[in-house]
Chains A and B, each alone.
Chain A
């Protein structure tokens, strides 16, 4: 495949992705949320009973679909392999903080872009925070930040994570009442289960094939001056803007946006945490799903951190809501920021003299 054809594949991947996100909103997923990885992991945490926020509990098949889609393509291409470092706790903490930041802003980078595409100006504030966090993370990468070398994993490790994902998906298919489900609020809004699952599997395949990553898009710009994914990202945003205008979901304003608040500092700060932690963990929440589907054990630890982080955010009132930042959101923000700097500094590679 020529390099131009490879880039074209990325652009088309972004465009299809945007159309599918809009499609899921039309099918019933919450407005401006469509296919948000962090929000959906939060809903899954609720469905599993890990938190008791009644409005955000639903077993979202999208997250499982992303992982299964990536797994299927990795198997087809014969590049599925179990790999990872031994930094379990660090990856867990990075995932945890990624979720704390996402729920302070109210969305992962994917939802940030969906909100931007629907005219939510708060998301544009968040965008600058996200890019700023990636910029700081990239500085540490340039200075030598790296988690240790990948290690060989035990044979049982190869299919352990994906087995859990497939088993949970099957349980949800056969016995959906096994999980908690909201009767009001965002958790009660969803596309039909099978539609969501199939669309998410397609997204997983696309994201695996094209390596789409919202933090990687900007990291590549900072580290390599590589604009390939930026062009794809802009196309993604343009399709969303046009699509939202067509379905009457484009409202250019700060106020009265669905599941969003107008606190400028924490819209910026929440996504700053996400950008910074995503660089340190090598991937945004969506990319972590794709990496997990291809056998990366680090990504499974990040996903676990995201899941428990979502439960903690609601149990300890750090998550924001439409009325503003949660009571403990500010303290969670500052502690998370400090922890990210500690992780970044501790993992700077020292040049041997």
Chain B
């Protein structure tokens, strides 16, 4: 169902993104960062959308953008 994951520096940043973008996507939720992406703790946003039109450089406090392909997480972009 979800095909994109955006990781954030803090839970608060993820919540802020969720509240600002809830209406922009049909499917969007906040979740713990999957273990395969990171061994550390953290929050991420899972959504259904087109990764090519998401620019994480414009998303405050975002870290990485992943695509879920065949059940695997593929890193598409990373913020400095």
Contact = CB atoms under 8 A, between A and B. Distances in A.
Given A223-B43, A296-B40, A141 B11 contact: yes
Nearest to A348: B12
25 contacts: A1-B36, A1-B71, A77-B39, A141-B11, A142-B12, A142-B15, A144-B10, A144-B12, A146-B10, A146-B12, A208-B39, A210-B35, A223-B11, A223-B30, A223-B43, A224-B30, A224-B43, A226-B31, A283-B41, A287-B41, A291-B40, A294-B39, A294-B40, A296-B40, A349-B12
Contact of B39 (A145, A211, A226): A211
Given A142-B11, A146-B9, A349-B12, A6 B34 contact: yes
Nearest to A352: B60
B32 A224 contact: yes
Interface in A113-146: 141-146
Given A1-B71, A224-B30, A149 B9 contact: yes
A163 B9 CA distance: 29
Contacts of B35: 6, 209-211
A319 to B, nearest CB: 29
Interface string A1-26: 11100100000000000000000000
Interface residues of B, number: 17
A220 interface: yes
A22 B11 CA distance: 36
A33 interface: no
Interface of B: 9-12, 15-16, 30-32, 34-36, 39-41, 43, 71
A77 B35 CA distance: 12
Given A2-B71, A226-B31, A211 B12 contact: no
A208 B41 CA distance: 11
Contacts of A3: 71
Contacts of A149: 9
A214 to B, nearest CB: 13
